[in-house]
Amino acid sequence: MADNLNTIKCPACQKEMVKIFIPEQGINIDVCLNGCGGIYFDNREFQYFDEAHENIDKILDAYKGKKFIDTDDSLPRSCPVCGAKMVKNYSSIKKQIQIDECYACGGKFLDREELQKIREEYPTNEERSADILKEVYATVGAEILEQKAKTEETKRKRSVLKKLFDHLVYD
């Protein structure tokens, strides 16, 4: 989905969000500067800001001198672009930071300071990917071992049944 150019309301506090133009990417990021400090990323925008080396100075500059209200992140949120219900998902395999995602249009909403926490969690995409691979290998490896144990148990049971059958038939 292309960069949303309409004014939108914050999914957390319903205040009007402010567009901050990021020249390096040529996109607008919606930031709740007059409410809770949350950030809304249109589909595929988040990938330009989730690593420590990526420039978020314009966003941080917009925050300077602002006071933000607290919100209840347990309340359901609707996507400010398409209106679909947003879903809480963890931002990484570490399962430490939950963000709101819209499965309909691909938008992501981060509460105040979550962007900075995500950037600290994995400074690069390579580190994030390495952790995902470790988790996948650990899970798949455990499943393979479990399946092997089941196969061995099945073989053992068949052997016992065969011996019992042979005993009954041939004795």
Q: How far apart are CA 85 and CA 79, in angstroms?
A: 6
Nearest CA to 27 out of 11, 9, 43, 51 is that of 43
Predicted confidence (pLDDT) per residue in 55-108, tens digit: 999 999 999 999 999 999 889 999 999 999 999 987 766 677 889 999 999 999
Is the pLDDT reported for residue 131 higher than 60? Answer: yes
Which of the residue ranges 1-10, 33-42, 110-119, 155-164 would you say has the lowest mean pLDDT?
155-164
Element housing 118 (H / E): helix 114-121
Report d(CA 135, CA 90) in Å as an integer. Answer: 15
CA-wise closest residue to 70 among 13, 145, 144: 13
Distance between alpha carbon 153 and the CA centroid of its chain, in Å? 39
Output the pLDDT for position 85.
Answer: 97
Tallying the residues shown for the chain, one arrives at 171
Q: What whole-number distance in Å separates Cα of residue 69 and Cα of residue 36? A: 5
The arithmetic mean of pLDDT across residues 97-122, rounded, is 92
**Residue 163 pLDDT exceeds 90:** no
Check if the beta carbon of residue 56 is closer than 8 Å to that of residue 25.
no
Q: What is the pLDDT of residue 92?
A: 63
Q: Amino acid letter at 94?
A: K
According to the model, what pLDDT value does residue 108 have? 96
List C-alpha distances in Å: 36 to 63, 106, 123. Answer: 11, 22, 25
Q: What is the pTM of this model?
A: 0.73
- Give the integer Cα–Cα distance in Å for 125 and 44: 15
Least reliable range by pLDDT among 61-70, 134-143, 155-164 = 134-143
Q: Considering only 11-25, 33-47, 112-126, 146-160, which range has the smallest mean pLDDT? A: 146-160
